[in-house]
A and B are shown apart, each in its own frame.
Chain A
């Protein structure tokens, strides 16, 4: 389980990845590497991380998410964190972590709407 890879889907210039309920340290680090590689390889304009299933974000996982967002931004892509569970949001606030530089959206659908050019067709 902890050795499972996180699949990254490509929708046009958008990369979409769904995290599972647990994010262990090793998987998180590998995922950050693989994602930045793919962002650079396809010239992605945006990355949507679906965290609907993710039950825990501790300070290590938060650090990785902020790093992913920073790396993507340096490569010219936006990162949208979609579907954070409300207990996770409450816990992050108490931990004192507000994920600087990371955009969020209520769901993957909201994230895709956010990325769609105004008046244009949806991304992907």
Chain B
């Protein structure tokens, strides 16, 4: 990470994910941040969709948690990093959870793997009983 010389321009925003309405609030916040970072229509849509999948996972499977939105600005590119974390039961088999069609919840089982394909960087950290943290990054343009 340090080799990229990421410069945070000081804009960090944290949102609680505790209720169903927070899913919409989170989407709105990501859209606003993507617009501010100069994302195009497709990039914006992909990032919001990925965020929507992960925030829903956090709420449904993790019992709620937090979304942190960070603006990254290593010139000349701008980007956004989203960290979605919960203290839920964790994922027993992360490799399996990333495979399309795998689902223990109400979706189609494309959430985690799909979210990974919609961003440029994807990092999943989870351990049974210790919660789940997903960090995704997408660059504008």
Contact = CB atoms under 8 A, between A and B. Distances in A.
B61 interface: no
Contacts of A59: 53, 107-111, 114
A95 B110 contact: yes
B113 interface: yes
Give the residue among A24, A25, A60, A63 with the most B Cβ atoms within 10 A. A60
Contacts of A15: none
Give the residue among A2, A22, A91 with the most B Cβ atoms within 10 A. A91
A56 B27 CA distance: 9
B42 interface: yes
A56 B23 CA distance: 13
A87 interface: yes
Contacts of A86: 42
B117 A94 contact: yes
A58 B45 CA distance: 10
A88 B45 contact: yes
Contacts of B21: 2, 24
Interface in B19-33: 20-21, 23-24, 27, 31
B45 A91 contact: yes
B24 A87 contact: no
Interface residues of A, number: 25
A57 B42 CA distance: 13
A62 to B, nearest CB: 6
Contacts of B95: none
B118 interface: yes
Contacts of B56: 25, 58, 60
Given A26-B20, A96-B100, 12 more contacts: A56-B48, A58-B56, A58-B111, A59-B114, A60-B52, A63-B108, A85-B45, A86-B42, A87-B42, A87-B44, A91-B42, A97-B108
16 contacts: A1-B24, A22-B27, A25-B23, A55-B31, A56-B45, A56-B48, A59-B107, A62-B110, A63-B106, A63-B107, A66-B108, A90-B45, A90-B46, A95-B114, A95-B117, A96-B113
Interface of A: 1-2, 22, 24-26, 55-60, 62-63, 66, 85-88, 90-91, 94-97
Interface of B: 20-21, 23-24, 27, 31, 41-42, 44-46, 48-49, 52-53, 56, 100, 106-111, 113-114, 117-118
